Structure 1
Amino acid sequence: MTAIKKTANQGTFKYLLIGDTVSNAGDRFQKIAFPLLLYKLTNSATILSLTVVLEIIPQFALSLVLGTILSRCDTKKVLYISVGLAALFTGVVPLLILVKAHYIFYLIVAMALAGVTLVYDITINTVIETLYPKKKLLHYNSILKSARTITKVIAPSIAGVWISAWGYNSIFIFNALSFIFLFYCVSVINFSTGNDRKSDDFHLQELLKGYKEIISSRALIIITIISIFINFMMLGFNSTLIYLLKHILNTNSSSVGIVYSLSGIGSLIGALLMTRVKSTNQTFLFKIMTGFSLILILAFILPLIVLNWQFVGACYLLISMSITCIDVIATTLVQERYGQPLLGFIFSALFVLSTALSPLGSVASTNTMLSFGASGLLIFFLVSSVFTFTISLGGLREIKKEEKNE
């Protein structure tokens, strides 16, 4: 928290941190209110599942071309458009409620919001690289992650009370206002706006530029595999957690809530831990990543050996903490190695690969659990986490080799 306070007094980042935190809080409230509203309107769990699938479509499509957009357009304009559209789409929801619109219009809004928020998130990752020297990137990434995690932890309880007291409309109005506030914060931030290549001819090969960059670097291949696998395992664990808690451990609902709350606390601890890391040497960062990969091995398999809901919660905290730290380090490593406009291509490619492959973790873990029970699930997470640890060790060796060659 001290790091956040210090950084809030440092000019440009103050506006980015405050604006992003306020809009993230509004977005978190909406992520809770939107499915509740849809369920109230349709009384259908199928529609809720369909919403999740539909949100992926614009995200996947936009991520294919976002690198090209960021390399050719003024980055600040991209932020203006994405944030402005987010405010517009969010502000439409109260009108839909007022006119009692068909639920299909809510699904369209959900898809649109998913797309523009993705554009904002990837663009901000490329902007941070232009604001600060490389040795400061881990620090600022960690602070931003800490602030976002705080809103993630406190939003559910606040949103529930808010909806009960003032209804759904107030949530969406607040979120629209939070995006307007973010729009203002973006307007006062000074940063490099990237390359303006409107006059260049577009070539389809540009869509593959991020993938080519990933393939051309062993270190980047390793970072990509680690990013995919930590999401792969996290989705797999999340998809089987309820079954483990309710079916195998017979845990009551309040205890299940505590377990999920511990996950948010773990993410916050991980982000705050990263703010205390002073060295940005890539070998040192890979050592930290490898250490957290080792923690993941124990945290994923021990809940299936020690069948106790409190122990499951403690391990879930460790999983969330470790994955948050690995995620922050991976983002920083990419930012340190590349600048604009390549960052837009690379982060877009990473998102596509993660979106395409990570959900397989949910499918694989669920089928393993249903077919082989807890013992099969134990083997699944053991193999996955050991593989991630091995890849991290390989990355550490690769970085050391690069430093020797330099």
Structure 2
Amino acid sequence: MFFVGNGISLIGTWMQRLAMSWLVYRLTGSAFWLGVAEFASQFSAFLLMPFAGVILDHSDLRRSLLITQFLGFLQAFLLSVYTFSGNINLYQVLLFSVFLGLINAFDLPGRQTFVVRLIDRREDLANAIALNSTLFNAARLIGPSVAGLAVASIGEAGCFFLNSLSFIPIIMVLFHLNILPEKRAKTSQPFRKDFFDGLRYSYRHGVIGPILIFLALISFIGMSFVVLLPVIAKENLGRGSETFGFLMGASGLGALLGALYLASLKDLKGSMGIIPLSFGLFGFGLIFFAWTPYLWISLGIMAFNGFWMILGWSVSNTIIQSIVDDEKRGRVMSFFLMAFMGMVPLGSLLLGSLSQSFGPNVALTISGGSCFLASIFFRLYQSANLRKS
């Protein structure tokens, strides 16, 4: 039931994400302000997320998620009211984006950690993560596709209101769900010591540390490509919000197929090589996407990129969740999400500025080429470590 409620909530979240991007672009007509809006949402989460991990390790996880779901409902509902009034401006959108980022700082690592509480056997972990990724990407496929049509018919305010309703099922599920007893971190240490213990553990670990650093780099130079999709839809393809939604949906379809492929794998031993392979091909796809003027080719490339992006992310997630100490899980998952998602706001500012100066095609080419080169260097690092061992 948790996965069903979570899936419904995620569909609404992806609808809101697309609608907010389109609202900002409608208000400003600027790729730079799209980057600023993404920055406002994600950077607040980036700053708070590592500290949120400490709190989650010491808290009742179910209660924490109930609080974040209620706050998510409140944020979406108020945003719909302000937008429907017709008086909303860019700065109010940015404030709502910051509020959403603060919620996500607790919600995202909380959801990742909660998945582990739902399984009885550690050998089921990979399938549980794959199922969670499947739902996430099914929502990523459905949400933007529906939102693209909904923005054209009921406006951004309608999308925000539908998102507020999507939180109700997951709130009801969390109220009634029974989970395995939690193994919480000891509370005798000061907050600051707990935080730095988790930080040292994460980045000194021979496997976790290199993955986190690589993901942070890929996040910064590559994952922020989403911020330019409204510009690509309008300027490269000559289309509107529906096409923006279809591009997001195509990426979600590819990611869904990637998650299903991961779920079909019986053994992830020796899977470290999948990580640089996935993000290298993702970067390669971005370069081609930057220069195609044809919608169907663009949709195919977005699906290709979605497949490899989620495969690299899910394998990284599974490897880390399989080896991390339970008492440090909340902190490590907050660093994981900070690395993979928290660097996106900084990358959004960079990509928005590059697009403003040189155009979206050049900006995406730089982004994709950098991902490709970073993946080659990470693979060489892995090979060197294998030879040493």
TM-score by length of 2: 0.79
Which residue identity lines up with residue 191 of structure 1 in the other structure? L
Q: Find 2:201's aligned residue among 190, 213, 227.
A: 213
Instruction: Tell me the residue number matched to 1:192.
Output: 181
RMSD: 4.0
For residue 191 of structure 1, report the CA deviation from its aligned partner. 3.0
Taking the aligned partners of 1:161 and 1:122, their CA distance within structure 2 comes to 31
Partner of 2:192: 204
Please give the residue correspondences for 1:1-40 in structure 2 after superposition, counting only pairs within 5 Å: 15-36=1-22
Residue correspondence of structure 1 range 1-400 to structure 2 within 5 A = 15-36=1-22, 50-96=36-82, 103=89, 106-132=93-119, 133-163=121-151, 170-187=158-175, 188-195=177-184, 197=186, 200-235=188-223, 251-253=237-239, 261-281=249-269, 283=270, 285-293=271-279, 295-296=281-282, 298-300=284-286, 309=294, 313-354=299-340, 357-358=343-344, 363=350, 367=354, 381-382=368-369, 384-392=371-379, 394-395=381-382, 398=385
Deviates more, 1:213-222 or 1:368-377: 368-377
Q: Structure 1 length as normaliser, TM-score? A: 0.76
Tell me the distance in 2 between the aligned counterparts of 1:32 and 1:372: 21
Tell me: CA distance 1:311–1:84, structure 2 relative to 1, closer, same or farther (3 Å). Answer: closer
**2: CA distance between counterparts of 1:31 and 1:397?**
41
Identity %: 17
Q: Deviations over 1:155-182 (max 9, x none)?
A: 2342344455556555444323321211
User: How far did 1:245 drift?
Assistant: 8.7
1:229–1:358 CA contact under 8 A, matched in 2:
no
**CA deviation after TM superposition for structure 1 residue 212, in Å:** 0.8
Number of aligned residue pairs: give it. 381
Shift of 1:294: 5.2
For residues 232 and 46 of structure 2, the distance between their equivalents in structure 1, rounded to whole angstroms, comes to: 31
| 8 Å Cα contact 1:223-1:395 kept in structure 2 | no
Deviation larger for 30-39 or 137-146 = 30-39
Letter in structure 2 aligned against 1:144: N
Tell me the distance in 1 between the aligned counterparts of 2:75 and 2:276: 41
Gaps of 5+ in 1: 1-14
Indicate the larger mover: 207-216 or 270-279.
207-216
Please state how far the C-alpha of 1:359 moved relative to its aligned partner: 5.3
Tell me how far apart the structure 1 counterparts of residues 92 and 356 of structure 2 sit (CA, whole Å).
Answer: 37
Is the Cα contact below 8 Å between 2:37 and 2:94 reproduced in 1?
A: yes
For residue 323 of structure 1, report the CA deviation from its aligned partner.
Answer: 1.3
Query: What is the distance in 2 between the residues matched to 1:93 and 1:260?
Result: 22
Q: CA deviation at 1:349?
A: 2.3
Q: 2:43·2:346 contact (CA, 8 Å) conserved in 1? A: no
SS in 1 for 2:321: helix
Q: Secondary structure at the match of 1:193?
A: coil
Counterparts of 1:293 and 1:29, CA distance in 2: 26
Letter of the 2:76 partner, please give it.
Answer: T
Q: 1:20 to 1:196 in 2, by over 3 A?
A: same
Pair 1:400–1:55, CA change in 2 (3 A): same
Partner of 1:218, secondary structure, is: coil
Q: What is the identity, as a one-letter code, of the residue corresponding to 1:141?
A: I
| 1:375 Cα offset (Å) | 9.1
**Farther off after superposition, 380-389 or 115-124:** 380-389
SS in 2 for 1:73: coil
SS in 1 for 2:326: coil
Per-residue CA distance 1:252-295 (angstroms, 9 max, x = gap): 438975655533322222112111111132x2x21433443553
Q: Is the 8 A contact 2:46 2:105 kept in 1?
A: no
Q: Tell me, what secondary structure is at the counterpart of 1:341?
A: helix
Distance 1:230 1:135 in 2: 29
The answer to whether the 8 Å contact 2:198/2:331 transfers is yes
How far apart in 1 are the matches of 2:19 and 2:364?
A: 33
Are the aligned partners of 2:54 and 2:195 in contact in 1 as well (CA < 8 Å)? yes
Residue identity in the other structure for 2:167: F
Larger radius of gyration: 1
In structure 2, stretches of 5+ residues that fail to align are none
| Contact 1:80 1:186 (8 Å CA) reproduced | yes
Aligned residues of 2:277 and 2:375 also touching (Cα < 8 A): no
CA distance in 1, matches of 2:165, 2:66: 15
- Distance apart, 1:301 and its partner CA: 5.2
